[in-house]
Amino acid sequence: MRLTVLGSGAACAGDGGNCSGYLVEDRGVRILLDCGHGVASTLISHVPPDTIDHIFISHMHADHFIDLLPLRFAVTKDLNGLPQPAGRLHLPPGGVRSLERVLDAVCFPPDFFSTVWNVTEYQPGDIQQLDREICARMAGGVHYIPGWAIRIDGSASLTYTGDTAPCDDIRDLATGSDLLLAEATLDEPEGGPVRGHLTAHQAAELAASAGVKSLMLTHFWYDADRDAAAAEARRWLETEVLVATDGAVVEL
């Protein structure tokens, strides 16, 4: 299993950076996890866009899905789409309605996505069989809107937190993963009733409690000190700590 980081930024990634996007390739199956600003153009420099078998969107914040618009044009410039949809777009619950509103706002036809991808919504507790030996599972996180973590099991196992505050369900989902790709958006823990992100320390605690083999921190603001985040995580975690940078490749 190979992970390529296409985008590792939070809602504003900074100069030259992309928002969330991760390409997972395993046994010939290509899976895109999230598709934030800038991801489509970077993706097509790595692989032909019509070879993506599955696209999973963790939640309907723009920094995680808005580049579905250019990615769709990368698959075909024809507004009529493909003769047959190729690949599947897996949206969170309510995602179909959200995309309909986006398409209405930007004056694209309502079948803009469904003529290139089979568009479905995943449900809590789903296990999605992507081929005979690769499956995806989701668990709900703690975020300002409903957000989901996604685990891919194949020749290795990878869990991506999406955006979340500390969350027992994501810990359970991630248990025993080879890699936990965890957001580390915050410098300081959030107080108050509304919470939606992790610090590097909290990401390390999540990795430790889930017993993962390695942790990769991601989802950084434009002004984040990524080295400091890694150093903070390493204070609390004995296993390997990596820091996502756009273009990074990890073999699992």
Of the pair 67, 163, the CB lying nearest Zn ion is at 163
Cross-sheet strand order for the sheet of 240-243: 127-131, 134-140, 148-153, 157-160, 179-183, 214-218, 240-243
Q: How far is the CB of 61 from Zn ion (least distance, A)?
A: 4
Q: Which two tokens stand for residue 53?
A: 């078998």
- At residue 227's C-alpha, the angle toward residues 226 and 229, to 5°, is 65
Our finding on whether 63 is near Zn ion (CB under 5 A) is yes
Per-state percent for the chain, helix, strand, coil, to nearest 5: 25, 30, 50
Helix, strand or coil, per DSSP, at residue 114: coil
Q: Which is nearer to Zn ion, 62 or 79 (CB)?
A: 62
What residue spans of the chain are helical by DSSP H? 39-43, 62-65, 68-75, 95-105, 168-174, 200-210, 226-236
Site for Zn ion in 182-241 (CB under 5 A): none
Measured from the CB of residue 180, what is the shortest distance to Zn ion in angstroms? 17
Q: What is the closest distance, in whole angstroms, from the C-beta atom of residue 114 to Zn ion in the complex?
A: 24
| Nearer CB in complex with Zn ion: 134/186 | 186
Q: Is 26 in the site for Zn ion (CB under 5 A)?
A: no
Tokens coding 75: 């698959």
Contacts (CB under 5 A) with Zn ion, residues 116-175: 163
Q: If binding is defined by CB under 5 A, does position 61 make contact with Zn ion?
A: yes
CB of 146 vs Zn ion, minimal distance in Å: 10
Rounded-to-integer distance, Cα 194 and Cα 178, Å: 31
Residue 68 has phi, psi (to 5 degrees) of -60, -30
Residue 153 or 163 having the CB closest to Zn ion:
163
Contacts with Zn ion: how many residues (CB under 5 A)? Answer: 3
- By beta-carbon proximity to Zn ion, the closer residue of 26 and 67 is 67
Three-class SS of residue 229?
A: helix
- Nearer CB in complex with Zn ion: 115/218: 218
Nearest distance in Å: CB 13, Zn ion: 10
Query: Contact positions toward Zn ion, by CB under 5 A?
Result: 61, 63, 163
